[in-house]
């Protein structure tokens, strides 16, 4: 790298975020800027453009494909242990491409940006080397990771380095997004051959954090978290996990109300009957994390029995596809429309001098609004945010569910909320099902075909697996230890999009959050729970009362819905169970923790809820809180 920087035509080291922001538009106060490169044999290729709006810059790409992360873009350039595709298997040795990349960068005007991977509190000093005409990328990076100067960081050896070389997408990879991770024990290099920051400035940095955690024995969770304070001043911290599109961003958003103030809980897809409830006063929300949640060992308080978390980012990459008109989320809209400092927008219509509006999404070639409109909001611009580490009371897990009816059974049979023991919490995080029109990433052709026909695909361990450069079984063992080290943190499942025949969007998640906060953290009374018909769902609630109103039992137990019934429910349960069995087989290696093997074998043998409870009780007070995995494997 040193030789590359010494040979570069020029190097700009921004002294401030404001300077970097102006570089996003080419400098000199311009209002528009075309992002492009000279590509051998093709001439100048425009990749996108940047427009100065009143509240920020709007970045839009020429190709639909670059407007979202390609789930198959990661390649491993080194020989360290990994279950991810190797660069060499698809493209040959990485060393010549790496050398060519450094040679190309050496011919450019460059921006060098220092940052901390993992946020200001516990992050590792790192660097980004970016072509000067991609200043917007540097602005996005520092808004996500925090702006630092070299003087502020002092002398350091970079723990990770990000290199950006967009034209290689055309010269070496047939137009595909490719992000190569080249690791040693002390350095994680991210070679980004794309221009959308999702797989590099965002998830690429996540990969570096996961790599560091693997070496040190801890996890950065793919999760959001929020502190919920009820009208009676009771506080509950909820951490929400799940595949992309599973509701992490929505967990920190206020519940939506109709014009008359009611909360639309769902609409029957067969009868078109709406079901709304009245909620006089909602709880106060104070966001803790949005997507990358640091579970660093230095944060943990072993005697508490709960996991302690902090934000691994200094800004949030917020998806706003569910904002379609004014007034749907006033707090978020205010932060976007009237920011303290100008923001960075992606896939949002931008006009010079006009306000970029979060519901004005660019149109894809198919004529539909882009499903992945984004805005980066620095943490210091989010009102009421929690800056200190927080203990997690409840870990919820969200799953996108399709509609299920007696006439068209699918796996969309999860009730509004299920309480599960740690063993099932671990299984759901091993598989992390993704389906029903996930908006955040493109799907491979095979995945799209499966989802289009009512099936699921697995996003993988902890939902952080798409970004991990390591091994699945190693990640599974770390996740199991993390779960068992916090026996007083409760686990819950909640669906989004549909519950049986009801289209619910994210209302089920918001109602669950409200109910959990109002209920508090007292012991669960078993007489209020009933085993779900599908053992993987743990317990369903017999009843749920919110603000004096009973939620319909048919939303808690979808088999009770007249348009679903037991037969359709059982058909959907079989789809989920068989999917789990198929996905879990790969973890049965000699490296898997013995307790983990026992849990998986319960699923493979169609075990009951009691079988899971025998391995990990619902409220396992006897478990140690030292981080050690208790050896409670049953005799064979």
Taking only the tens place, the pLDDT of each residue in 569-623 is 999 999 999 999 999 999 999 999 999 999 999 999 999 999 999 999 997 654 4
- What is the reported pLDDT for 524? 81
Query: For residue 625, what pLDDT band results from cuts at 50, 70 and 90?
Result: very low
For 114, residues 6+ apart whose C-beta sits below 8 A from its C-beta are: 125, 126, 127, 128, 148, 149, 150, 153
Strand extents, DSSP E, 40-123: 43-53, 56-61, 74-76, 109-117
Query: Which structure tokens are listed for 166?
Result: 């967009």
- Local structure of residue 328 (DSSP, 8 states): S
* pLDDT beyond 90 at 134: yes
For 52, residues 6+ apart whose C-beta sits below 8 A from its C-beta are: 25, 30, 31, 32, 352, 353
Segment 446-451 shows an average pLDDT of: 52
Strand extents, DSSP E, 103-219: 109-117, 124-131, 160-164, 178-183, 188-193
* pLDDT beyond 50 at 188: yes
Strand extents, DSSP E, 371-520: 374-378, 390-391, 394-400, 418-420, 433-434, 457-458, 490-499, 502-505
* pLDDT beyond 80 at 299: yes
Q: CB count, 10 Å around CB of 522?
A: 6
Query: Which structure tokens are listed for 548?
Result: 């004096």
In angstroms, the Cα distances linking 347 to 62, 130, 217, 292 are 10, 21, 37, 22
- Local structure of residue 244 (DSSP, 8 states): T
Segment 270-275 shows an average pLDDT of: 96
Segment 435-440 shows an average pLDDT of: 57
- What is the reported pLDDT for 627? 40
Provide φ and ψ at 571, rounded to 5°: -65, -45
| Helix, coil or strand: residue 422 | helix
The dihedral over CA atoms of 166, 167, 172, 173, expressed in degrees to the nearest 10, equals 50
For 257, residues 6+ apart whose C-beta sits below 8 A from its C-beta are: 263
- What is the reported pLDDT for 5? 87
- What is the reported pLDDT for 521? 82
**pLDDT > 70: what percent of the chain?**
94
Segment 86-100 shows an average pLDDT of: 97
- Distance separating alpha carbons of residues 162 and 170, to the nearest angstrom: 19
* pLDDT beyond 90 at 435: no
Q: pLDDT by residue (tens digit) across 323-364?
A: 889 888 888 899 999 999 999 999 999 999 999 999 999 999
| Polymer length in residues for the chain | 636
Output the pTM of the full model: 0.89
- 337-356 burial, b at 16+ Cβ within 10 Å, e below that, comes to bebeebbbbbbbbbeeeeeb
- What is the reported pLDDT for 577? 96
* pLDDT beyond 60 at 634: no
* pLDDT beyond 80 at 635: no
Q: With 0-12 CB in 10 A as exposed, 13-18 as middle and 19+ as buried, what is 175? A: exposed
* pLDDT beyond 70 at 61: yes
* pLDDT beyond 90 at 322: no
Query: For residue 629, what pLDDT band results from cuts at 50, 70 and 90?
Result: very low
Q: pLDDT by residue (tens digit) across 453-494?
A: 456 888 989 999 999 999 999 999 999 999 999 999 999 999
The per-residue pLDDT of the chain, averaged, comes to 91
């Amino acid at each position: 790298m040193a030789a590359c920087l010494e040979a570069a035509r020029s190097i700009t080291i921004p002294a401030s975020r404001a300077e970097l922001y102006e570089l996003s538009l080419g400098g000199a106060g311009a209002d528009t800027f075309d992002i492009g490169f000279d590509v051998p044999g093709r001439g100048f290729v425009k990749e996108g453009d940047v427009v100065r709006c009143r509240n920020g810059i709007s970045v839009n790409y020429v190709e639909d494909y670059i407007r979202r992360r390609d789930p198959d873009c990661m390649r491993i350039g080194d020989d360290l242990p990994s279950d991810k595709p190797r660069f060499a298997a698809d493209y040959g040795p990485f060393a010549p491409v790496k050398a060519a990349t450094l040679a190309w960068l050496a011919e450019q005007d460059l921006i060098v940006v220092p940052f901390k991977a993992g946020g200001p509190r516990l992050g590792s000093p790192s660097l980004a080397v970016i072509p000067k005409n991609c200043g917007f990328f540097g602005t996005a990076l520092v808004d996500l990771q925090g702006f630092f100067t070299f003087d502020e960081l002092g002398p350091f050896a970079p723990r990770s380095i990000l290199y950006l070389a967009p034209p290689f997408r055309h010269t070496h990879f047939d137009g595909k997004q490719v992000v190569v991770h080249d690791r040693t024990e002390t350095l994680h290099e991210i070679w980004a051959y794309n221009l959308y920051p999702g797989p590099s400035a965002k998830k690429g940095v996540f990969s570096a954090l996961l790599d560091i955690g693997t070496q040190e024995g801890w996890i950065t969770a793919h999760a959001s978290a929020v502190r919920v304070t009820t009208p009676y001043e009771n506080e509950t911290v909820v951490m929400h996990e799940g595949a992309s599109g599973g509701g992490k961003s929505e967990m920190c958003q206020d519940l939506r109300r109709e014009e008359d103030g009611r909360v639309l809980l769902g609409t029957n897809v067969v009868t078109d009957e709406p079901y709304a409830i009245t909620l006089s006063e909602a709880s106060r929300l104070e966001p803790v994390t949005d997507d990358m949640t640091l579970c660093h060992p230095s944060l943990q308080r072993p005697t508490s029995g709960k996991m302690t978390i902090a934000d691994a980012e200094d800004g949030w990459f917020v998806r706003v596809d569910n904002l379609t008109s004014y007034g749907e989320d006033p707090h978020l809209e205010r932060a976007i429309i009237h920011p303290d400092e100008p923001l960075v927008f992606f896939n949002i219509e931008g006009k010079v001098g006009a306000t970029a509006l979060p519901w004005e999404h660019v149109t894809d070639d198919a004529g539909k609004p882009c499903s992945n409109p984004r805005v980066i909001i620095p943490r210091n611009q989010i009102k009421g945010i929690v800056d200190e580490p927080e203990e997690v009371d409840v870990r919820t897990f969200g799953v996108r569910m399709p509609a299920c009816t007696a006439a068209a059974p699918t796996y969309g049979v999860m009730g509004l909320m299920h309480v599960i023991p740690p063993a099932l919490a671990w299984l759901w995080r091993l598989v992390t099902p993704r389906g029903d029109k996930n908006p955040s990433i493109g799907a491979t052709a095979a995945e799209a075909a499966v989802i289009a026909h009512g099936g699921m695909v697995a996003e993988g361990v902890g939902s952080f697996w798409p970004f991990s450069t390591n091994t699945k079984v190693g990640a599974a063992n770390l996740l199991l230890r993390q779960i068992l080290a916090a026996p007083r943190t409760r686990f819950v499942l909640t669906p989004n999009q549909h519950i049986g025949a009801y289209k619910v969007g994210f209302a089920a998640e918001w109602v669950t959050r409200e109910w959990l906060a109002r209920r508090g953290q007292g012991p669960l009374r078993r007489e209020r729970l009933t085993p779900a018909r599908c053992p993987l769902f743990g317990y369903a609630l017999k009843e749920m009362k919110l603000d004096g109103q009973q939620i319909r039992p048919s939303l808690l137990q979808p088999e009770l819905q007249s348009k679903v019934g037991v037969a359709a429910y059982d058909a959907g349960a079989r789809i989920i169970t068989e999917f789990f069995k198929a996905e879990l087989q790969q973890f049965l290696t000699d490296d898997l923790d013995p307790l983990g093997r026992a849990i998986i074998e319960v699923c493979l043998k169609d075990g009951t809820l009691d079988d899971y409870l025998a391995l990990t009780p619902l409220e396992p007070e006897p478990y140690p809180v030292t981080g050690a995995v208790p050896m409670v494997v049953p005799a064979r």
